[in-house]
Copies of this chain bind each other. A is one copy, B any other.
């Protein structure tokens, strides 16, 4: 049990660094984004928008790196989720809820690496849309991750 603790639970000092964050609970209408989204997306730049496509630049910030100094998988997943959602939003499709996401982590990105993140609409079937998000190192062209992400619209989007 100690091994699992050591792998998942923080010590006091680690825990304190997060405890110092003052984050208020979600209040309806208070902000457009949540703190989590600010945390995950700050610094992203939308470069190009075409039908079915959104392309962004993002420089890996220290706050999103894991213990090996690489852009964390959870942060990659979040970018896939948000950029896939944005391309659907731009398309004006009545989509809202992510239901399935799959990601291949093909290589890694380090702090200050500049990434190109491109989201495309794959297709739709009724209220269901499929998108793909490709994340590359802008300097080398190397693929960091490819994600696919399906959204499903239960009710008209209010985004």
**A interface residues with partner B (beta carbon < 8 Å):** 1, 3-11, 14-15, 17-19, 21, 23-26, 28, 31-42, 44-46, 48-49, 54, 56, 61-69, 72-75, 77-79, 81-83, 85-87, 89-90, 97-107, 111, 122-128, 130, 132, 142-143, 146, 148, 150, 152, 154, 159
Chain B residue at minimum C-beta to C-beta distance from A104: B130
List of B residues within 8 angstroms of A34 by Cβ: 65-67, 69, 72
5 contacts between A and B (CB under 8 A): A74-B78, A100-B100, A102-B103, A106-B124, A126-B152
Q: Select which of B18, B85, B97 is within 8 A of A105 by beta carbon.
A: B97
This protein's copies in its complex: 4
Tell me which residues across on chain B come within 8 A of A75, comparing CB atoms. Answer: 36, 74, 78
Give the complex CA separation of A4 and B117 in angstroms. 13
Does B42 lie within 8 Å of A18, measured CB to CB?
yes
Cα distance A152–B10 in the bound complex, in angstroms: 25
Q: Find out whether the CB atom of A64 lies under 8 angstroms from the CB atom of B42.
A: no
SS class, residues of chain A in contact with chain B: mixed
Q: Determine whether the beta carbon of A40 is less than 8 Å from that of B125.
A: no
The verdict on A14 contacting B31 (CB below 8 Å), with A7-B86, A24-B62, A123-B106 known, is: yes
* Shortest CB distance A110–B (Å): 9
B122 touches A104 (CB 8 A): yes
> Are the C-beta atoms of A35 and B7 separated by less than 8 Å?
no
Q: Which residues of B are found within 8 Å of A90, using beta-carbon distances?
A: 3-4, 7
